[in-house]
């Protein structure tokens, strides 16, 4: 189900080095590096280590009650809180997000639900086109 899908071009290959099993319930904030697969439940914020290209996978059995922040995120379970994604977020068919999603790239499968706003973040490398400066050097003719 979370194997190497060819149409998830935006997600970088990251090792899922940590697993929270389906029968595990954690209370408190959680910071991870590399990759985290969430089959269990977390009550608290789940954050990828800043400056790292982290991957969070929330399976169809997984649930988070708190804010989520990571480089890449794949959700097929339930997240109650805001989701901030630096690179790519994929909402699979069983995903349910009760909160706002802030993203660079988004893929949403049929059946996924979001009860909140979707907001595209400005790319740090995006080129902002600028308007040419007005030319005030021309002489005005008055009669």
Tokens read off for 45: 């914020």
Decide if 96 is inside a domain: yes
> Which of 91-95, 99-103, 117-121, 134-138 has the lowest average pLDDT?
134-138
Residue-wise pLDDT for 68-90, tens only, equals 999 999 999 999 999 999 999 99
CB atoms within 10 A of CB 120: 11
Kindly tell me if the per-residue pLDDT of 5 is higher than 90: no
Bridge partners (DSSP) listed for residue 65: 43, 80
pTM for this prediction:
0.78
Decide if 115 is inside a domain: no
Decide if 94 is inside a domain: yes
Decide if 89 is inside a domain: yes
Number of domain units in the chain: 1
Decide if 85 is inside a domain: yes
Residue-wise pLDDT for 10-53, tens only, equals 666 567 788 999 999 999 999 999 999 999 999 999 999 999 99
For residue 64, give its domain range: 16-109
Distance CA 114, CA 140 (A): 56
């Amino acid at each position: 189900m979370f194997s190497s899908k060819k149409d998830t071009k935006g997600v970088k290959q990251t090792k899922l080095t940590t697993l929270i099993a389906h029968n595990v319930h954690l209370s408190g904030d959680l910071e991870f590096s590399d990759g985290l697969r969430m089959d269990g439940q977390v009550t608290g914020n789940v954050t990828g280590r800043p400056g790292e290209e982290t991957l969070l996978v929330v399976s169809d059995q997984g649930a988070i009650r708190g804010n989520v922040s990571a480089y890449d995120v794949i959700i097929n379970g339930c997240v109650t809180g805001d989701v901030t994604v630096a690179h790519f977020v994929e909402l699979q068919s069983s995903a349910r997000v009760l909160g706002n999603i802030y993203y660079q790239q988004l893929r949403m499968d049929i059946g996924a639900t979001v009860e909140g706003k979707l907001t595209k973040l400005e790319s740090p490398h995006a080129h902002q086109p600028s308007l040419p400066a007005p030319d005030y050097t021309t002489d005005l003719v008055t009669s």
